[in-house]
């Protein structure tokens, strides 16, 4: 036998052996780069994943599958044709984020299966994620997707339950809810929860359920699975017909839905399903998993996209005083807002509902000269962002975006989406792209949680999907507990426009809902700390400019806090109890600490500071802040790297500081 024939025979033997081993291999293990997390994938009769952390079982075997309309189930009786492991160590350059650079280190397992589909698994040091991929011709109709998260016990969890059914229809809501702090088995029957949610798995460990890179696909809800120790996915069916209705007739609500959840390209990657794992609650304050899993930016030139603070007219009902004109939705009022913004270094103003015909963005309220307002803003270096509701944007963006971009408008605040079916999700990407093509920024309100769109289209500068400060206008709720829960849960998904900055601060006993010039629970220092703790590249100053002028000392501190940062350092915290973190911008550091209704003493470790001496400007709760929430104390002192500083937080209180290196 010739050498060539021997070589060919050897190759065939190796190839056949490899193929047989691939077909026989039905169990796969993958560890995180630090070796602490182990992912186990079973490809027997069903595809299942399970996860352990330092020997503690986090997820027990949990099924994953894609069910197609033709009856086939991707993940049932899987036949793995080949597998591949990759080790990635990269860095992501972030845009308008809580840090400038994101270390992106993970191990990846790719399973390709017979039937032109595959699953990609990733294991990070603090998270595990997977997604389906398909390579099929033509269009796919997805009947359902099965994503399950099975835990070992009836753990306690923080779960946002859907409650405000817009137009009385399921799968239509504002995606705003306080957390049900319950055991898994207490999940309300026939209810849905939206993501993110948190599960306390014991041994001080917390697990947060997330999804990422949600493009052209419905968002994931969950309800209780059959074991009552975990969750199974639920999705809004594909909308076939819709009509205006719901809140103020501003929702576009599906009235007829298909018996499938999505119709999409046959060759594509599906959204990531992820869990983040922390050994200390504070670690969740600095987790980047959604940002890492999102598709990279599709905008080449991002120089025109600038994070910043903005005034907001709606929360205080445009109530201003000590002026010689009638305040309202008119030119004089918004010039006043611009003058205030310019004097205080605020980059934007928002003109909320009422500046245009709600159904026709090209018909402007005659009491308001938008071009004059925009031009006044240009002279003062203040950008103007205008409000619109989603349905009108979908009908008119091709005309409205170039028209208002030419006028000089900087962006749109788009509201009342209140859906996350496939059509709504795709629409947000389409709007972001069309806005980017016209160099317009977008602030989404009345919207589901972010899933990475803000990385893919960085002109998406704001995202609600949180039960924000606006609720004080009509509701008496335990927001001080909520505001020290969302940094560990909702904020894991990405930026959240909570709309901080209320200066009429009261304790629980003195609170009552007021529509004009609302009150806010908690202390003044708590509100200032929110500007550091909450991630919001488009950060609202919710209160009236007149109120801020009367409280110039606090206003000066608040408006010097950046809206995006170079670095984030978690300092201390416990979900639902308190949170403390530091953020850096340039050579300056900003520290914020917040508590629920429990007064507490903390010790902050300033070893995150580079070696040297610093001047620190502190706003802390005043001695009577428990009785009068506006009571605060300003101090200017010195601090050095490595110093430990005791601080006191009043009930509903806060502590905020700006730290500058001394010359």
Asked if residue 549 has pLDDT above 50, the reply is: yes
- The two tokens of residue 217 are 């696909």
Kindly give the residue spans of alpha helices, DSSP state H, lying in 150-256.
none
**CA pair distance 430, 438, nearest whole angstrom:** 13
Of 271, 637, 275, residue with least CA distance to 448: 271
Contact 387, 353 (CB under 8 A): yes
DSSP labels for 362-391?
A: EEE-TT--HHHHHHHHHHHT-EEEEEEEHH
- The two tokens of residue 585 are 């911008």
Asked if residue 224 has pLDDT above 60, the reply is: yes
332 band by pLDDT with thresholds 50, 70 and 90 = very high
Contact 533, 487 (CB under 8 A): yes
Per-residue model confidence as pLDDT tens digits over 33-60: 999 999 999 999 999 999 999 999 999 9
Average pLDDT over residues 401-423: 98
Question: Would you state the pLDDT for residue 56?
Answer: 98
**CA pair distance 197, 628, nearest whole angstrom:** 34
Question: Would you state the pLDDT for residue 16?
Answer: 42
CB neighbours of 514 closer than 8 A, spacing ≥ 6?
473
Question: Would you state the pLDDT for residue 14?
Answer: 42
- The two tokens of residue 649 are 């937080």
Residue 336 gets which letter from DSSP? H
Q: Which domains does the chain have, with CATH numbers?
A: 24-293 (2.70.98.10), 469-488+506-535+566-663 (2.60.40.1180)
**CA pair distance 662, 471, nearest whole angstrom:** 41
Question: Would you state the pLDDT for residue 382?
Answer: 98
Ramachandran category for residue 259: left, alpha or beta (phi over 0 → left; psi -120 to 50 → alpha):
alpha
Give residue for tokens 């910043």.
308
Give residue for tokens 């501003």.
250
- The two tokens of residue 250 are 């501003």
Asked if residue 345 has pLDDT above 70, the reply is: yes
**CA pair distance 67, 73, nearest whole angstrom:** 4
**CA pair distance 239, 634, nearest whole angstrom:** 54
Asked if residue 301 has pLDDT above 90, the reply is: yes
Average pLDDT over residues 353-362: 96
Relative to beta strand 383-389, strand 179-183 is unpaired
- If one counts every other C-beta atom within 10 angstroms of the C-beta of residue 260, the result is 18
**CA pair distance 502, 504, nearest whole angstrom:** 6
Q: Is 462 helix (H, G, I), strand (E, B) or coil?
A: strand
83: β partners: 111
Burial state string for 419-453 with b = 16 or more CB within 10 A and e = fewer than 16: bbbbbbbbbbbebbebbbebbbbbbbbbbbbbbbb
168 band by pLDDT with thresholds 50, 70 and 90 = confident
169 band by pLDDT with thresholds 50, 70 and 90 = confident
Stretch among 23-27, 105-109, 498-502, 613-617 having the lowest mean pLDDT: 23-27
- The two tokens of residue 548 are 């801020």
226 band by pLDDT with thresholds 50, 70 and 90 = confident
DSSP labels for 330-341?
A: SHHHHHHHHHHH
From residue 104, how far is each of 36, 119, 291, 474, 566 by CA, in Å?
A: 17, 20, 10, 43, 16
**CA pair distance 561, 311, nearest whole angstrom:** 14
Number of Cα atoms under 13 Å in the Cβ half of residue 128? 23
- If one counts every other C-beta atom within 10 angstroms of the C-beta of residue 155, the result is 18
Give Cα 8 distance to the centre of its chain. Answer: 55
Question: What percentage of the chain reaches a pLDDT higher than 90?
Answer: 93
Q: What angle do CA 655, 657, 659 make, to 5 degrees?
A: 160
pTM over 0.75: yes
Give residue for tokens 């809580």.
98
134: β partners: 117, 268
Give residue for tokens 């299966």.
113
Question: Would you state the pLDDT for residue 247?
Answer: 77
SS3 readout for 91-119:
EEECCCCCCCEEEEEEEEEEEEECCCEEE
Contact 625, 598 (CB under 8 A): no
Average pLDDT over residues 383-392: 98
Using N-to-C axis directions, what is the helix angle for 524-533 and 552-559, rounded to 10°? Answer: 10
Q: Is 531 helix (H, G, I), strand (E, B) or coil?
A: helix
Mean pLDDT of the chain: 95
Contact 595, 479 (CB under 8 A): no
Residue 234 gets which letter from DSSP? E
**CA pair distance 459, 453, nearest whole angstrom:** 9
Which residues are catalytic, by number? 415, 470
Average pLDDT over residues 290-314: 98
**CA pair distance 411, 382, nearest whole angstrom:** 12
Contact 572, 649 (CB under 8 A): no
Per-residue model confidence as pLDDT tens digits over 604-660: 999 999 999 999 999 999 999 999 999 999 999 999 999 999 999 999 999 999 999
Question: Would you state the pLDDT for residue 13?
Answer: 43
**CA pair distance 503, 515, nearest whole angstrom:** 15
Per-residue model confidence as pLDDT tens digits over 449-468: 999 999 999 999 999 999 99
């Amino acid at each position: 036998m010739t050498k060539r024939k021997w070589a060919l025979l050897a190759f065939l033997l190796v190839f056949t052996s490899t193929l047989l081993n691939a077909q026989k291999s039905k169990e796969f293990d993958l560890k995180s780069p630090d070796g602490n997390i182990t992912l186990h994938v079973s490809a027997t009769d069903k595809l299942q994943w399970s996860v352990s952390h330092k020997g503690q079982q986090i997820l027990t075997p949990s099924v994953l599958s894609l069910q197609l309309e033709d009856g086939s189930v991707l993940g049932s009786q899987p036949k793995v044709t080949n597998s591949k492991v990759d080790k990635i160590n990269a860095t992501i350059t972030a845009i308008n984020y809580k840090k400038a650079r994101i270390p992106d280190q993970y191990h990846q397992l790719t399973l390709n299966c017979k039937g032109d589909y595959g699953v990609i698994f990733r294991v990070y040091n603090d998270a595990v994620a997977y997604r389906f991929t398909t390579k099929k011709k033509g269009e796919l109709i997805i009947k359902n997707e099965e994503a399950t998260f099975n835990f070992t016990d009836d753990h306690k969890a923080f779960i946002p339950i859907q409650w405000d059914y817009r137009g009385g229809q399921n799968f239509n809501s504002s995606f705003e809810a306080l957390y049900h702090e319950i055991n898994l088995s207490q999940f309300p029957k026939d209810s849905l929860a939206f993501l993110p949610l948190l599960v306390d798995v014991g041994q001080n460990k917390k697990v947060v359920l997330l999804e990422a890179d949600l493009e052209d696909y419905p968002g994931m809800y969950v309800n209780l699975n059959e074991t009552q120790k975990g969750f199974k996915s639920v999705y809004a069916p594909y909308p076939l017909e819709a009509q205006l209705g719901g809140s103020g007739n501003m929702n576009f609500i599906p009235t007829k839905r298909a018996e499938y959840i999505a119709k999409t390209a046959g060759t594509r990657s599906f959204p990531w399903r992820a869990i983040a794992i922390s050994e200390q609650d504070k670690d969740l304050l600095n987790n980047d998993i959604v940002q890492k899993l999102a598709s990279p930016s599709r905008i080449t030139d991002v120089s025109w996209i600038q994070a910043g603070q903005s005034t907001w007219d709606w929360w205080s009902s445009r109530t201003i005083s000590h002026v010689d004109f009638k305040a309202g939705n008119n030119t004089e009022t918004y010039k006043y807002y611009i003058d205030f913004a310019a004097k205080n270094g605020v980059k934007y103003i928002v003109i909320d509902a009422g500046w245009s015909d709600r159904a026709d963005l090209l018909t402007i309220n005659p009491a308001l000269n938008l071009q004059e307002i925009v031009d006044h803003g240009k002279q003062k270096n203040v950008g103007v962002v205008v409000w619109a509701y989603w349905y009108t944007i979908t009908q008119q963006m091709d005309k409205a975006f170039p028209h208002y971009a030419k006028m000089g408008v900087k962006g749109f605040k788009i509201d009342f989406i209140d859906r996350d079916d496939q059509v709504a999700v795709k629409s947000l990407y389409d709007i972001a792209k069309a806005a980017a093509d016209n160099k317009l920024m977008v602030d989404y309100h009345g919207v589901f949680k972010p899933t990475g769109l803000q990385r893919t289209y960085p002109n998406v500068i704001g995202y609600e999907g949180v039960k924000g400060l606006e609720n004080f206008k009509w509701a008496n709720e335990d927001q001080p507990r909520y505001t020290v829960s969302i940094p560990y849960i909702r904020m894991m998904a990405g930026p959240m426009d909570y709309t901080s900055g209320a200066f009429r601060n009261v304790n629980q006993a003195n609170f009552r809902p007021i529509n004009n010039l609302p009150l806010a629970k908690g202390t003044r220092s708590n509100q200032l700390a929110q500007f550091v703790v909450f991630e919001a590249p488009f950060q609202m100053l919710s209160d009236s400019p007149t109120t801020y002028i009367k409280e110039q000392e606090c206003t000066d501190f608040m408006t010097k806090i950046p809206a995006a940062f170079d670095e984030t350092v978690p300092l201390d915290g416990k979900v639902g109890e308190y949170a403390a973190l530091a953020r850096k911008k340039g050579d300056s550091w900003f520290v914020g600490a917040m508590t629920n209704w429990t007064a507490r003493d903390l010790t902050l470790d300033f070893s995150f500071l580079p070696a040297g001496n610093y001047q620190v400007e502190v706003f802390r709760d005043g001695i009577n802040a428990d009785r009068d929430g506006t009571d605060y104390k300003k101090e200017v002192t010195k601090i050095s790297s490595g110093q430990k500083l005791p601080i006191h937080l009043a009930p509903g209180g806060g502590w905020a500081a700006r730290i500058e290196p001394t010359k």
